[in-house]
Structure 1
Amino acid sequence: MTGRPARPSLPLAAQLRQMIAVLEAERQALAALDADAVIASARDKESLCASLAGFGPDALDGETRALAETARHLNDVNRRVRNLLAANVAARIEALGGPRRMPHPAYAAMRG
């Protein structure tokens, strides 16, 4: 799906299947720490979200409800992985040079 916008003429189930494929690709990109692939996945997700915005809850049947729930679960797992990676990076940076907190601009102005 990378680089191609979702076609709004596709039925809801097909778009949800595309979203699931993009989320699985994102998970692989996160595991490989492939920043370019993560960014491409984010673009693809944004495009698909724009296409899915035209559908309301009344468009869901049993199949599409299950697909939407799968996509929701995959997105949640990927979000957790992204958060863990970010926390790991922050911990490594702090270990290198210690926590360097910048003073809040309001406090810096009071001291200056």
Structure 2
Amino acid sequence: MLAVLEEERQALAGLDLDAIVGTTRDKDRLCGRIDALGDAAGAPELDEECRSMLDAARRLNEVNRQVRNIIAANVSRRLNALTGSPQLYRIPKGYAAMARA
């Protein structure tokens, strides 16, 4: 999983859409295998090395998620600037007040 997350980081850095999609499929496949292991054996006992690798994977996945969000925000901003259109998902004024009521 760590290797796949590192590949995803490289794909995001290079804005390589094919590689991003490929790493997404790899992550889904690996998560399925991990889930199957957990289902078959219950909650497996993890040693300290496994826990530290899981923690590293969690941190790297969070960094990659933040990078994806930054890229998406930049793409949205650029598309809005090119089209002269307002943001598609802008919350209308007063909407938050209606939600509180």
- TM-score, normalising length: structure 1: 0.70
- Read off the aligned partner of 1:84 and give its amino acid letter: I
1:67 has 2:53 as partner: yes
Query: Partner of 2:20 in structure 1?
Result: 38
Match runs of 1:73-84 below 5 Å? 73-84=59-70
- Aligned with 2:33 (options 30, 51, 54): 51
CA drift of 1:61 comes to 1.1
CA RMSD of aligned residues (A): 1.6
List per-residue Cα deviations over 1:3-60 (Å, max 9, x = no partner). Answer: xxxxxxxxxxxxxxxx000000000000000000000000000000011112365421
Query: Partner of 1:90 in structure 2?
Result: 76
Q: For residue 24 of structure 2, give the secondary structure of its aligned residue in structure 1.
A: helix
Q: For residue 59 of structure 1, give the secondary structure of its aligned residue in structure 2.
A: coil
Structure 2: which 5+ runs fail to align? Answer: 90-101
Alignment length (residue pairs)? 84
- Read off the aligned partner of 2:47 and give its amino acid letter: D
- TM-score, normalising length: structure 2: 0.77
Moved over 4 A (4+): none
